[in-house]
């Protein structure tokens, strides 16, 4: 089943969707929660009783707070996407009316006529780039690739067209986006504390997907400069046996002002995260070896790592990498273009021109 997509996607996001479709993967469905009676306050509804003692809905919800936060985020995200699509449709209708043509004729001339045809060379290039994930012969998936690349081109043209018409037709989105408040106190960071955009990343040094998002975040910093502050918080997953000590080690390095240096070294080689290997990396980076080794061995920052984990779970984090851009949740190893789109929007909402115009990938 093809995933529902309400907004134009970046080529990489569309590529991921195509690959999931070709692989035959489907997204899970979620059931709705029972509603309390009108006479009861939210959460006070008694939903069970054991040995004469009531169990309230609030008690039950507390045990699945991260999952409920994720469901709330998904719902709000769908509303935001649907709103954006309605705004786009109204803009296109207004422009078509101004030109004295139907919307269909307008879209035909501005999108369909300009999209052209997908060439065999484009199909082959896309297949070769994604062959390992598609894992099927080209002749079997060629029609799907042609359809996907054509859709991608049309969505890009539509996005450019709508973007150019927003000001002309006075398009304003009054609904604020969903935001989650996440603390940054005591966490390693780079960029000005008063930057208009704060990107908080919850990450795991042993997670391969976390290493893949590092280049995108580095590109954010080089592109936006002082407009963005990046904050790193720990989220070592239980099935990564070396992630906990790696997290603690990074904070020991932070104690000596070398957090980002060790951060980069660990992500550059995630196979070398044993404690002895972490100590060798630290020494090679010029840290005080005796102080670093004692810090790691003592578990000095184990409690801080635990606090990061708890804060992340309360914010709805269930996997890594997970990021919050001014409180706006972004899940997974997304490309730079995805981060740039949100950062640009945040800057524009504050009346700030992005440091550099970013072309959507």
Give the model confidence (pLDDT) of 169-191 as tens digits: 988 888 888 898 999 999 999 99
Residue with tokens 């169990």: 55
What sign results for the dihedral spanned by CA atoms 350, 351, 353, 355?
A: negative
Q: Domain 189-349, CATH 3.40.50.2300 — does that match?
A: no
Mean pLDDT of the chain: 86
- Confidence bin at 67 (pLDDT 50/70/90): confident
How much is the average pLDDT of 103-120? 94
- Confidence bin at 66 (pLDDT 50/70/90): confident
Contact 188, 254 (CB under 8 A): yes
What's residue 22's pLDDT? 46
This prediction's pTM? 0.65
Domain map of the chain by residue range?
A: 11-25+65-165, 189-349
Judged against a pLDDT cut of 70, whether residue 328 lies above it is answered with yes
Lowest mean pLDDT among 28-37, 44-53, 123-132: 28-37
Lowest mean pLDDT among 144-158, 222-236, 298-312: 144-158
Give the model confidence (pLDDT) of 262-311 as tens digits: 999 999 999 999 999 999 999 999 999 999 999 999 999 999 999 999 99
């Amino acid at each position: 089943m093809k995933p529902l997509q309400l907004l134009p996607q970046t080529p990489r996001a569309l590529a991921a969707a195509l690959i999931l479709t070709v692989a035959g993967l489907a997204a899970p469905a979620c059931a709705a929660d029972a509603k309390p009676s009108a006479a009861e306050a939210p959460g006070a509804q008694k939903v069970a009783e054991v040995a004469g003692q009531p169990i309230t809905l609030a008690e039950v919800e507390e045990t699945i707070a991260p999952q409920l936060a994720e469901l709330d985020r998904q719902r709000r995200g769908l509303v935001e996407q649907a709103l954006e699509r309605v705004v786009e449709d109204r803009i296109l209708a207004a422009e078509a009316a101004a030109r004295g043509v139907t919307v269909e004729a307008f879209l035909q001339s501005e999108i369909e006529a300009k999209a052209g045809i997908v060439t065999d060379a484009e199909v082959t290039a896309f297949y070769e780039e994604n062959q390992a994930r598609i894992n099927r012969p080209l002749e079997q998936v060629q029609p799907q690739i042609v359809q996907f690349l054509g859709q991608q081109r049309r969505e890009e043209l539509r996005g450019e067209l709508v973007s150019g018409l927003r000001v002309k037709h006075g398009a304003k989105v009054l609904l604020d986006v969903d935001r989650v408040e996440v603390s940054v106190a005591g966490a390693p960071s780079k960029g000005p504390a008063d930057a208009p955009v704060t990107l908080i990343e919850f990450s795991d040094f042993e997670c391969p997907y976390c290493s893949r998002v590092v280049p995108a975040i580095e590109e954010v910093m080089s592109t936006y400069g002082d407009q963005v502050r990046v904050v790193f918080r720990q989220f070592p997953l239980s099935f990564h046996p070396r992630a906990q000590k790696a997290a603690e080690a990074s904070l020991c390095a932070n104690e000596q002002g070398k957090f980002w240096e060790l951060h980069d070294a660990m992500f550059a080689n995630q196979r070398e995260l044993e404690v002895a290997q972490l100590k060798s990396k630290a020494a090679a980076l010029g840290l005080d070896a005796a102080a670093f080794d004692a810090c790691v061995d003592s578990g000095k920052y184990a409690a801080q790592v635990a606090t990061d984990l708890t804060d992340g779970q309360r914010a709805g984090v269930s996997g890594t990498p997970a990021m919050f851009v001014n409180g706006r949740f972004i899940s997974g190893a997304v490309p730079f273009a995805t981060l740039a789109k949100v950062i640009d929007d945040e800057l524009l909402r504050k009346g700030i021109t992005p440091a550099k115009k970013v072309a959507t990938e």
